[in-house]
């Protein structure tokens, strides 16, 4: 048995260290360590509550919109104000752009290189002019010895299974997806003012201009993204998946899934009737939806670098940093260990789509059943509880969201045409109060707790998606979701841990990273840079 350290991890956002024990060609144990402390909870103390939705967008440059909306919803809870219907529609549209941007980026630019052998594409046979052009450019790129983002990967690794022709097609679409990312960001900026860090969703509603010309411009961009998802993204996933069906049995983890729900229905404030509804699925209760609430959340810190109390609900949460050195038998991460009813929970697109599926959301059910049938596993949604399931869930969620965005855009235009133009509800800043925003970022369940005293923030706590997924062990020694998902993962060559990357990337952790592998026999440090 040998222990290996991957630090830092590449093709993610932020700083993640991973330590694994490999025995008999499989991962026997794992430890995930968030290695960067930022302390936004401390930064927000004593500030005007109305500033929080802008400050918290700086928590993450990848999903700022989601933080802004979650903060705003928590402040609206404190201020006792309800945004008008048009504001809800516009927030959904801005948030939808964030989701499409993130999912396209994740599949093509963060995780595809775990399955697509770029160098293999050079041997593909094709008569397609576009693919021939891409192949020629790639050949020049490779022969120059300057592979840029494709450098230092494990090309030729036996775990790569795609034929050269599919590898070439994927490289071509990798380049196309760069333009789709930009298109999603520019669509978001039409109503968000700019992207990242949108400017137009304060507590009470939205403060941007909207007219039929802007709606038409926005709709064109969304329909272009919709076509890319239908004609490229989903077909790519279905083309790649049959070569990696064994990954439908790898990376399940604890089997517990949480979604706070996202995309408000303007007709109701019921979070269980959102486009992607609130709920949970527990491994010990089968594929059945369970009701959830913020009072069920606690955060353990026995393995985290904090002096804060352990097992606190975030409404009474503390953020008191205390670095004491990295030691996997003691404390080894800046991430706390959130639990729902004492259980570790996976969050993300798989959780949302799974909760929607078991809750009977008709579009999610149709999409998932259709994908399962195409993969030859009809009627077996349990295969989604895996690395392959996380990949499929993001693609299907992208289609669900893009299709609904077209309908929301038309609804907004109809409201304006009918003279329904209200965008903002006035409110008074309270002397005291507290509120909770429960929402979803592309990476999963996101929650902000605020406490106001003397009209300033006394306390502000965030439990973000990657904290759920990348957390360390809790007070009982139970592994976090990524740690647990890694157990049993086959690894052909520990010095080229491609399989480990696949599991971690399937969660899309928001953390960043060169690989250092320590040989326990010689103490020699092997260094690899993973593209």
pLDDT (0 to 100) of residue 318: 87
To which residue do tokens 């009474």 refer?
A: 316
Q: 397 in a domain, yes or no? A: yes
Asked whether residue 390 is domain-assigned, the answer is yes
In a domain, 323, yes or no: no
The total number of structural domains that make up the chain: 1
Residue 405 lies in a domain: yes
Residue 325, domain member (yes or no): no
Tokens 């969201």 found at: 401
- Predicted confidence pLDDT, tens digits, the chain (531 residues): 788 888 777 777 777 899 999 999 999 999 999 887 777 888 999 999 999 999 999 888 788 999 999 999 999 999 999 999 999 999 999 999 999 999 999 999 999 999 999 999 999 999 999 999 999 999 988 888 777 777 768 899 999 999 999 999 999 999 999 999 999 999 999 999 999 999 999 999 999 999 999 999 999 999 999 999 999 999 999 999 999 999 999 999 999 999 999 999 999 989 999 999 999 999 999 999 999 999 999 999 999 999 989 999 999 988 888 999 999 999 999 999 999 999 999 999 999 999 999 999 999 999 999 999 998 899 999 999 999 999 999 999 999 999 999 999 999 999 999 999 999 999 999 999 999 999 999 999 999 999 999 999 999 999 999 999 999 999 999 999 999 999 999 999 998 999 999 999 999 998 622 222 333 344 443 444 443
- Using alpha carbons only, give the angle 336, 395, 105 rounded to the nearest 5 degrees: 65
Q: CATH number of the domain that 423 lies in?
A: 1.10.645.10
Residue 515: the pLDDT is 25
| 3-state DSSP of 54-83 | HHHHHHCCCCHHHHHHHHHHHHHHHHCCCC
DSSP state letter for 16: E
Give the per-residue pLDDT at 229. Answer: 98
Among all chains, which residue has been given the structure tokens 């669900």? Answer: 400
Phi and psi torsions of 382, nearest 5° = -65, -20
Spell 275-289 as b/e; 16+ CB within 10 A means b: bbbbbbbbeeeebeb
**Residue 157 burial (CB count, 10 A):** 14
Q: How far apart are CA 187 and CA 219, in angstroms?
A: 9
The predicted structure's pLDDT at residue 514: 23
State the pLDDT at residue 512. 28
Could you give the CA distance from residue 240 to residue 382 in angstroms, rounded to a whole number? 20
Dist. CA 164–CA 160, nearest whole Å = 10
Report whether 4 contacts 494 (CB < 8 A). yes
Backbone CA torsion sign across 66, 68, 71, 77? negative
Whole-model pTM: value is 0.94
497, part of any domain: yes
Q: How far is it, in rounded angstroms, from Cα 443 to Cα 99?
A: 9
Burial class (CB in 10 A: 0-12, 13-18, 19+), 86: buried
| Residues spanned by the domain of 155 | 2-318+331-528
Both tokens of residue 328? 């996997």
The whole-number pLDDT of residue 10 equals 76
Is 326 domain-assigned? no
In a domain, 371, yes or no: yes
Nearest to 392 by CA among 103, 171, 186: 103
Cα(117)–Cα(114) distance, integer angstroms: 8
Q: Check residue 354 and give its pLDDT.
A: 98
pLDDT of residue 511: 61
- Using an 8 Å Cβ cutoff, are 20 and 486 in contact? yes
Compute the distance between CA of residue 194 and CA of residue 409 in angstroms, rounded to an integer: 19
For CA atoms 239, 242, 247, 249, the dihedral sign is positive
Report the alpha-carbon distance of residue 171 to residue 323 in Å, rounded.
43
Residue pair 280/259 in contact by the 8 Å Cβ criterion: yes
The b-or-e profile of 294-312 (16+ CB within 10 A means b, else e) is bebbbbbbbbbbbeeebeb
């Amino acid at each position: 048995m040998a222990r290996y350290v991957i630090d830092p991890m590449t093709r993610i956002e932020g700083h993640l260290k991973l330590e694994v024990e490999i025995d008999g060609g499989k991962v026997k144990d794992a430890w995930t360590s968030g290695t960067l402390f930022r302390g936004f909870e401390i930064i927000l103390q004593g500030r005007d509550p109305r500033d929080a939705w802008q400050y918290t967008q700086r928590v993450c440059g990848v999903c700022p919109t989601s933080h802004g909306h979650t903060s705003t919803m928590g402040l609206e809870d404190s201020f006792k104000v309800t945004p008008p219907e048009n504001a809800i529609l516009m927030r959904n549209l801005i948030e939808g752009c964030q989701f499409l941007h993130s999912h396209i980026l994740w599949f093509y630019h963060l995780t595809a290189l775990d399955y697509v052998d770029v160098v293999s594409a050079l041997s593909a046979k094709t008569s397609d002019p576009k693919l021939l052009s891409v192949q020629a450019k790639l050949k020049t790129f490779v022969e120059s010895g300057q592979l840029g983002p494709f450098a230092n990967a494990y090309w030729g690794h036996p775990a790569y299974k795609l034929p050269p022709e599919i590898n070439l097609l994927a490289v071509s679409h990798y380049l196309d997806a760069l333009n789709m990312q930009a298109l999603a960001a520019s669509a978001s900026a039409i109503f968000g003012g700019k992207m990242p860090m949108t400017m137009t969703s304060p507590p009470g509603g939205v403060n941007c201009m909207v007219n039929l010309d802007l709606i038409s411009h926005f709709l064109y961009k969304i329909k272009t993204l919709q076509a890319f998802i239908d004609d490229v993204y989903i077909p790519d996933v279905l083309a790649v998946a049959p070569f990696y069906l064994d990954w439908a049995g790898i990376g399940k983890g604890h089997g517990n899934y949480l979604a706070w729900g996202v995309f408000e229905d303007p007709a109701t404030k019921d979070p269980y009737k959102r486009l992607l509804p609130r709920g949970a699925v527990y491994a010990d209760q089968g594929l059945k939806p369970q009701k959830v609430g913020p009072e069920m959340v606690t955060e353990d810190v026995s393995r985290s670098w904090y002096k804060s109390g352990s097992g606190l609900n975030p409404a009474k949460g503390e953020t008191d940093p205390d670095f004491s050195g990295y030691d996997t038998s003691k404390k080894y991460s800046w991430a706390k260990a959130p639990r729902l009813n004492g259980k570790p929970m996976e969050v993300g697109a798989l959780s949302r789509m799974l909760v929607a599926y078991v809750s009977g959301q008709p579009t999610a059910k149709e999409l998932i059943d259709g994908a399962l049938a195409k993969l030859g596993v009809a009627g077996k949604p349990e295969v989604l509880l895996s690395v392959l399931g996380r990949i499929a869930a993001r693609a299907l969620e992208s289609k669900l969201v893009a299709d609904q965005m077209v309908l929301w855009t038309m609804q907004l235009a109809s409201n304006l045409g009918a003279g329904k133009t209200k965008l903002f509800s006035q409110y008074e800043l309270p002397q005291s109060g507290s509120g909770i925003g429960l929402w979803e970022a592309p990476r999963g369940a996101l929650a902000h707790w605020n406490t106001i005293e003397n009209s300033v923030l006394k306390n502000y706590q965030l439990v973000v998606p990657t904290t759920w997924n990348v957390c360390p062990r809790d007070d009982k020694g139970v592994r976090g979701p990524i740690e647990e998902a890694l157990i049993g993962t086959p690894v052909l060559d520990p010095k080229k841990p491609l399989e480990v990357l696949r599991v971690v990337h399937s969660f899309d952790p928001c953390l960043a990273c060169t690989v250092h592998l320590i040989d326990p026999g010689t103490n020699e440090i092997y260094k690899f840079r993973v593209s």
